[in-house]
Amino acid sequence: MTLINENFLKLQAGYLFPEIGKRRRAFQAANPNAKIISMGIGDVTQPLAPAVIDAMKKAVVEMGRKETFHGYDDDGVGYKFLREAIVENDFKARGADVDIDEIVVSDGAKCDTGNIQEVFGIDNIIAVTDPVYPVYVDTNVMAGRTGAAAGGRYSGIVYMPCIEKNNFVPELPEQKVDLIYLCFPNNPTGAVATKEQLAKWVDYAKKNKSIILFDAAYERFISQPEIPHSIYEIEGAKDVAIEFRSYSKTAGFTGVRCAFTVVPKQLKAYTKDGKAIDVNPIWKRRQCTKFNGVSYITQAGAAAIYSEAGKKQVQETIDIYMNNSSLIRKTLSEIGYKVYGGVNAPYIWLKTPEGVGSWDFFDKVLNEAHVVTTPGAGFGVAGEGYVRLTAFGLPENVKEALKRIAAMS
Ligand SMILES: *Cc1c(COP(=O)(O)O)cnc(C)c1O
């Protein structure tokens, strides 16, 4: 008899997006002429930068010649040309000192943020924000680090509410936690953390020998110069933090797949008897055992993001999304909604009117404006009373959707 991994049975059904789809289809069936616009999509809509396409075409040609063909990427951690460009542009340019040996290139930040927990002991106490990117939670459930779910929360996880009162940046937990997942700029709230706020977390992690798992997938959307793009802009963070980056949202790579994770060489975790162990070689060991590297063509495309032309083109695309974002913020505030985020992130966190729940508001906007949003409650208990709007739509659709929302009763 084959036994199943019963931890998977604890997972709450992937409820949010199927339920949104179900309600959308039901509405469309009842209103076949309605032109539904989605402001719920977490995917990009603009094409890849021409510099990326050129680099990938060139790489394809190289793959077709014996002299320039590439097989397995020898180290499995990413080509040096890409890791060097990362070090120079993403870190040195911001005063953060990261070495190329600390970078491991991968096919996505979803996999990396999901897989990283494997290298840490099963008895670690994990802390997540509420609302949260579900990957952090579900992968720990699968691993067996939690009990059952009740009322939308798993026992064994420390949830840190991100609410209006704390500007959607969590307070330090009262109890001691070991692994702390933070995501700034945040999906879904669009909130950012200041250097001072992150410094408190770094300090906490040092005191408690904890590790911060910092998801910076949206750093390219930061517009305010004082907001840190990397946790390594905070003094001492290299002792206690792993950082995740992705080209998915920053350069439209959701369908190409390329990301990287930074595991500092000085970062330690401990054996039960207190011996300090370097995490960097353990993560590489894990990756090289279970993953054989990102394609040469993809890495060549990713490196082109850092060329002069690539930088300019990527910025133009980000500007399209952030213009959407400003327009969403401005229009919704003008008609009396309370909105958060959207300044340094492509997400707007809209507070639903008094007494109207996330799903009720979702239904109202779908029925009256024919616009799909994402109910905040789907990201956690503390997301109740909000909906998430994304700025990834086509500008003409965003304008039309806002016009319709403004005309709602
Ligand atoms: C979209 C997203 C990512 C990126 O995932 P990829 O696997 O790199 O596409 C990572 N973290 C968060 C919070 C995201 O929303």
Domain 52-307: assigned CATH number: 3.40.640.10
Alpha carbon distance 245, 228 (integer Å):
14
Helix (H) or strand (E) holding 296: helix 296-304
Q: What is the pLDDT of residue 13?
A: 75
Domain positions in the chain: 12-47+309-406, 52-307
Distance 392 CA to ligand 1 centre (A): 14
Ligand 1 center to 188 CA (angstroms) = 11
What is the number of the ligand 1 atom nearest to the C-alpha of 183?
13
What's the pLDDT tens digit per position in 191-223?
999 999 999 999 999 999 999 999 999 999 999
Closest CA to 123 of 137, 101, 143: 143
- Choose one of 182, 246, 294, 305 to mutate for the ligand 1 pocket test, by most ligand atoms within 8 angstroms of C-beta: 246
Sheet holding 386-390, edge to edge: 338-341, 347-351, 386-390, 374-375
Candidate from 104, 187, 256, 257 with most ligand 1 atoms within 8 A of CB, to mutate: 187
Residue 290's pLDDT is: 95
Ligand 1: residue whose CA is nearest its atom 12: 217
Instruction: Report the CATH superfamily, name and number, of domain 12-47+309-406.
Output: Aspartate Aminotransferase, domain 1 (3.90.1150.10)
* Dist. CA 352–CA 376, nearest whole Å: 10
Q: Which residues line ligand 1 (CB under 6 A)?
A: 108-110, 133, 183, 187, 215, 217, 246, 248-249, 254, 259
Task: Please tell me the predicted confidence (pLDDT) of residue 74.
Answer: 74
What would the pLDDT profile of 87-132 be if each residue is shown by its tens digit? 999 999 999 999 999 999 999 999 999 999 999 999 999 999 999 9
Give every residue of the chain whose pLDDT is below 50, as ranges.
none
**Ligand 1 mutation target, pool 41, 248, 388, most atoms within 8 A of CB:** 248
**What type of residue sits at position 99?**
D
Q: Phi/psi of residue 115, each to 5°?
A: -85, -25
Quick one: 66 exposed, middle or buried, by C-beta within 10 A (0-12, 13-18, 19+)? Answer: exposed
Can you tell me which atom of ligand 1 is nearest the CA of 258? 8
Handedness of CA 322, 326, 327, 328 (dihedral sign): positive
How does DSSP assign 340-387, residue by residue?
A: EE-SSSSEEEEEPPTT--HHHHHHHHHHHH-EE-EEGGGG-GGGTTEE
The ligand 1 atom at the shortest distance from the C-alpha of residue 110 is 7
Confidence at residue 319, expressed as pLDDT on a 0 to 100 scale: 98
For residue 112, the ligand 1 atom closest to its alpha carbon is: 7
CA of 233 to the centre of ligand 1 (A): 21
Distance 113 CA to ligand 1 centre (A): 9
Give the tokens for residue 403.
Answer: 């016009």
- Tokens 């021409």 belong to 50
CA 355 to ligand 1 centroid distance, Å: 32
Q: Look at residue 409 in the predicted model and tell me its pLDDT.
A: 81
Place of tokens 């070090």: 87
CA of 273 to the centre of ligand 1 (A): 35
Provide the whole-model pTM: 0.97
